[in-house]
Amino acid sequence: MKRLDQIIDSALEEDIGFEDITTDEIIDPLLFASGEIKVKEDAVIAGLNVAEQVFKRIDPEISLSPYIKDGEMVEKGRVIAEVHGRASSILKGERTALNFLMRLSGIATLTRLFVKELEGTKAILLDTRKTTPGLRLLEKYAVKIGGGLNHRFGLFDGILIKDNHIKVTGSVKQAVTSIKLKKPYHKIEVEVKNIEELKEAIDAGADIVLLDNMEPKMLKQAIGLASGKVLTEVSGNVTLKNIKEIANLGPDFISSGAITHSAHAIDISLKLTKIYGKEKE
């Protein structure tokens, strides 16, 4: 995938630059090695394919042999893959490969926790555009691996009229009416902050309403009013502690920026276990 190659190349350029001054000076390029990639905390793994491609961008002869698949939950201490190839190439790709694996596994793990809280409700977890610049493709992939659903990837593939759009255009009705004339076959989602704006969005012909930062009492009223008329998405300060309570109110979707912007990187290490000498086994 061209975009993945671009992301990896940018990360390797950032880390290696024009040379790995340490490895190039002390490691014989004819030495080969094997290493284990181990998870140091319970996690849902995501990004094994990305880690493999990092190594292969450095040295096509490197092989990464995974013991699991993306999406599997593993316990602390599990070896999830082995890498084989030139020792110098492994060392050059180690940090970048692990950075991707740690970040994506963190997002997948947190997403899985959010999704688990929605069991028994009809609500579907959505991600947002609150992603690391340049890494949206991979971070949204990790959300899917964790069991969430991708919202729009960018401003180009979905209509979402937000509060500042409404402020500029003057009203919910004006914003919805204007875009319906120009994009009549697109689904239109509009953010509303109170019952009056919700009614205006429904009357204007919106398809989805984003109920943003509403108090529970108003949120319950809004979902009841919208039921059977438009789809509902709840957003704003959604946490593991309150998502179940929100889901029990009956929205169709709940979106959370936290699953990408606040996921902690899973602790994952790579340790060389064998040096081959000067010929590949």
Please identify which of the residues 56, 78, 95, 180 carries the catalytic annotation: 95
Q: What are phi and psi of 43, to 5 degrees?
A: -165, 155
Q: Quick one: which of 203, 250, 257, 247 has its CA closest to 231?
A: 250
Closest to 191 (Cα-Cα) out of 183, 132, 258, 169: 169
> Would residue 130 show up in a list of annotated catalytic residues for this protein?
yes
Cα separation, 114 vs 157, in Å, equals 25
At which residue do the structure tokens 């998405």 appear? 233
Does the annotation mark 212 as catalytic? yes
Q: Which helix (H) or strand (E) holds 12?
A: helix 2-16
- Of the listed 191, 200, 233, 252, which one is catalytic? 191
Choosing from 56, 130, 180, 220, the catalytic residue is 130
Q: Which of 69, 122, 162, 271 is catalytic?
A: 162
Residue 210: phi, psi to the nearest 5?
A: -100, 110
Phi, psi (deg, nearest 5) at residue 103: -65, -50
Select which of 94, 189, 212, 233 is catalytic. Answer: 212
Task: Indicate which residues carry an active-site annotation.
Answer: 95, 130, 162, 191, 212
